[in-house]
Structure formats: structure tokens, C-alpha cells
Amino acid sequence: MGIKTVYDYVDGHSADFIQDLVRLVKQPSISARGEGIIACAEIVEAMLGDVGFSTKLISTSDEYPVVFGELKSKTGKKTILFYDHYDVQPPEPIEEWKFGAFSGEIHEGIIYGRGVSDNKGNIVSRVKAVESFLKTHGDVPVNVKFVVEGEEEVGSPHLLPMVKNNRSLIANDATIWEFGGTNFEGRPEIYLGLKGVLSVELRTQGATRDVHSANAPLVPNPAWRLIWALNSIKDDQDKVLIDDFYENVKEPSETELRLLVEIPLEEGKIKQALGLKEFLHGKRGNEAKKSLLFSPTCTINGFLTGYVGNGSKTVLPRKAMAKLDFRLVPDQRSSEIFNKLVSHMHQRGFADIEAVQHGSTEPTRTPVTHKFVQIVAEAAEKVYEKKTIIYPTSAASGPMHLFRNLLDSPVVSAGCSHADAKGHAPNENLTIDSFIKGTKFMATILNDFGEN
């Protein structure tokens, strides 16, 4: 099949594509508070149906259906799956938006709105890539499946049973993950993995009520207990002290390490944006990149005890609570780390501190040497005409492992976003140029995967 005619179709119909994207952005779909979810799922389903997909809503959780779409190729044998999500982050702080968060307004070639980059632009670009093939060739080079979920921004709590219960329905030969785009120099960036995450809350209680701090010689203070427990978990060099925490950490391969050199880390810009003189422990260059991508971490997300208003209050609090997340790397497992944490607390004399698991995803990576990686990287170079930057993994987390590990599919994250897209922040945006190029990029992947 000739890809040039597909590109021409994309260029010729860009106004329609943009209109469809704006319509999708205008539909709020805030999973954190269940706002507009069904309505948004229905728009996505209709968009797939209009192109010719057979569709259905898969409801492992009634209020947050997964939109599934399937389109068979007449000639191609292979199957590609696009994983996306139609839900978005809450738009707050509203007052910092230049235009309405759900207005979909376009100014100087940029579309503004919550979700336009993460992840609605990607949904539309992928659907339109398929449409462009069908309209120009009457077929697509490969079978295409879509899994578009509605709970990604709240940790995909129902995706595991969905995948387990629909293995054959969503079986595929390769998966394109939800995100990706170009950096400040316009170079395409693709990602071959995600870290895992284990979210835990530690809780402890002293007396049944707050007491006056004059009683400190006699009444246990749960805040101190939690301080000492946390101190036993990580030292001031950020080394996790839980026994065997690093046992299953797989060292990055030589190939993965070589990719680090190519990865741009805009150290100066990042430090300036965050008001930092230097990164943690003075890390820089390859050392910084290596730790960002390949190190497991333990982060305090929150801590609350006692009186935290203005001034002072001589109170000895009755309870204390801390929230932690552990970022995991292959071959750590969230259940393994949770069990090691609980053992640690018991062995170090902190059996009084309760550990509650809030959520988890597993780390996963697709090998750099996998053929599908090469196809995607080269497809990007054809469209963007710059060398692709390959991240052996992102530092972020998500349910990629369900597709990579349970379905044994190679997974590459690649998309239509750009360096200043402001995902999760006010004034999230997508340039029309990125959106259109991203559509061509997806079409090229369909084409090249079909040929290989």
C-alpha cells in the first residue's frame, strides 16, 4: 500500500479531524469524580463505529466502561492494539486556565483543553489513521483493536479483571501505548516500559484521644513511632533499608545503557523550573538519567498527625498517618515489596504500625532489540525526519504490564503530543501540527507493521 496517499488524505481532512477532537475535549470525563464518563465513552464508541469498527462497551465496573473496538484487515494477518483512555485529570486550579478547561478553543494553531494531549488527541489520531487507510485503500494493512479505558487517571483499578476475562478478544501481536510525542527539538520520543508503583498507607494509634502534651512522659506518641519507623525504611542517602528490597532489581542491559547517552535530560531547564540548585545528591548527566529510569524509589507522599494550623498547640496526638509510594523496576513485584515492608515493620519492632495497600501496578519493559521497537522508531523518523529517542522505560507507571506480561505482547508507547503540552496541568494543549503529524505517524506504524 502506498502511504503517500494516506498522508494526503490526512492533510485534506485535517479540519474534520480537529473538529472531532474538539468535540471529544468538550465532553468532560473526570474519572476522579465520575463526571461525564458514560457520555464520553459513547462518543468514543460512536467515533470508532463511524469508521467501521465493530464496538462494544466492556463493563467490569458499571460506571467506567472500557470501549473496545475491532476492525479486521482483508489482507493483513497481524493484529495491532491501541491502548488509550478517555478519562482525564480534574482541571483544577480552574483560575489558571487561559481558556475554558473544556472549551476546546483554538488559538494560533494550538488546541487548548483538559485531556487534549493526555489522551484524547491520541485516541482521535489513531482512529483517524485507520480511517485514512480505509478511505484511500479500502483496507488497513493489519487488524486493529482499540482498548480505551475510563479509569487510567485513577490507577486503572478494574483493568486487570478486564484483561483476564477478555484475553482472546484483546489478543494481539503488538501494542501501541497511550503516550509519546516530540521533545523541544522536535525529535520523536518513544518508551519501551514503565516502572511499577506500590502505594501504601502506614497508620498508627496511641491513646484513644488526643492528650495534653504535659503527659508526654507516660503516653506513647504515635507520631514519634511513625518517624522512627519511616527512618528505618530509608537512609539519608536514599537507600531503601528493607531487607532484600533490591534482590530482584535487574541491572539495565548494555543496550539499554547505551540508549541513555541519546536521551536528552534538560537539567538546567528542569532545575530552574523547580527552583533547585542541583538534583538529589548532586546527580547529573548519565548518572541522573540512569537513576531516573532504572532505580526503584520510596517516596513519602503525605504525612499527617496532630495540630497543623497556625501557631502552636501543646497536644500529644492520638494517631499518625503516612502515605508512601514505591516505584518498582523489573523484576520487582508489588506484592513482594509489600510483604517485605510488612516483615520489616515486624522485625524492627513496629508491629503496632498498620500497613494498608492502596494500589499497585507492576514494572515492565519490552526489550530494545524487539523488532516492533525498530518498526516504531523508524516509522517516527519517516514522519518527523529526526532521529528517534528511545527510552528503555519511562520513569512513570501504568498498567502496561497487563498487556506486556499477561498477553505477552511487545508494547511501545508513542503518540502525538509535544514538549509543552502541560499534561495534568492548567492550559493543557496540543498543537495542530503535532496532532496531524501524529496521525501520519500512526498510519505509518500500521503500514510498516503490516509489511514486516
Q: Nearest distance from residue 322's CB to its own copies, in Å?
A: 8
Give the x/- contact pattern for its own copies in 387-406, rule: CB under 8 A: -------xxxx---------
Q: What is the DSSP letter of 141?
A: S
The rounded distance, in Å, linking the Cα atoms of 279 and 289 is 11
The rounded distance, in Å, linking the Cα atoms of 223 and 348 is 17
Question: Which residues inside 408-437 make contact with its own copies, applying CB under 8 A?
Answer: 424
Count how many Cα atoms sit within 13 Å of the Cα of residue 154 in the half-sphere of its side chain: 18
Count CB neighbours of 411 within 10 A: 28
Q: Nearest distance from residue 158's CB to its own copies, in Å?
A: 15
Q: Which residues contact 405 (CB under 8 A, 6 or more apart)?
A: 362, 364
The correct pick among 54, 215, 255, 286 for binding its own copies (CB under 8 A) is 215
**DSSP alpha helices (H): ranges in 139-253?**
159-165, 167-170, 222-233
The correct pick among 8, 16, 161, 228 for binding its own copies (CB under 8 A) is 228
Residue among 35 and 201 whose Cβ is closer to its own copies: 201
Q: What is the DSSP letter of 311?
A: S
Give the x/- contact pattern for its own copies in 68-107, rule: CB under 8 A: ----------------------------------------
Question: Which residues inside 117-156 make contact with its own copies, applying CB under 8 A?
Answer: 155
Question: Which residues inside 171-190 make contact with its own copies, applying CB under 8 A?
Answer: none
Residue among 143 and 393 whose Cβ is closer to its own copies: 393
Question: Which residues inside 339-398 make contact with its own copies, applying CB under 8 A?
Answer: 349, 358-359, 394-397
Residue among 106 and 219 whose Cβ is closer to its own copies: 219
**For the CA atoms of the chain, what is the radius of gyration?**
24
Residue among 69 and 330 whose Cβ is closer to its own copies: 330
The correct pick among 224, 381, 407, 433 for binding its own copies (CB under 8 A) is 224
Task: Look at the block and give the residue holding cell 489482507.
Answer: 75
Q: Nearest distance from residue 407's CB to its own copies, in Å?
A: 24
Binding to its own copies by residue 213, rule CB under 8 A? yes
Residue among 248 and 357 whose Cβ is closer to its own copies: 357
Beta strands 143-149; 354-361: pairing state: unpaired
Binding to its own copies by residue 259, rule CB under 8 A? no
Binding to its own copies by residue 201, rule CB under 8 A? yes
Phi, psi of 348 (to 5 degrees): -95, 10
The burial class, CB within 10 Å (0-12 / 13-18 / 19+), for 386 is: middle
Kindly state the number of chain residues that form the binding site for its own copies, as judged by CB under 8 A: 73
Taking contact as CB under 8 A, which single stretch among the options 66-74, 104-112, 316-324, 409-417 is the one that binds its own copies?
A: 316-324
Taking contact as CB under 8 A, which single stretch among the options 78-86, 178-186, 217-225, 246-254 is the one that binds its own copies?
A: 217-225
Q: Strand, coil or helix: what is 15?
A: helix
Please choose, from the candidates 364, 377, 400, 369, the residue with its C-alpha nearest in 3D space to the C-alpha of residue 449: 377
Question: Which residues inside 293-312 make contact with its own copies, applying CB under 8 A?
Answer: 295, 297-308, 311-312
Task: Look at the block and give the residue holding cell 526489550.
Answer: 367
The rounded distance, in Å, linking the Cα atoms of 324 and 298 is 7
Residue among 74 and 277 whose Cβ is closer to its own copies: 277
Residue among 184 and 307 whose Cβ is closer to its own copies: 307
The rounded distance, in Å, linking the Cα atoms of 30 and 12 is 33
Looking at the DSSP bridge assignments, the partners of residue 194 are 364
Question: Is the backbone peptide bond immediately before 331 cis, with ω within 30 degrees of 0?
Answer: yes
Q: Nearest distance from residue 427's CB to its own copies, in Å?
A: 15
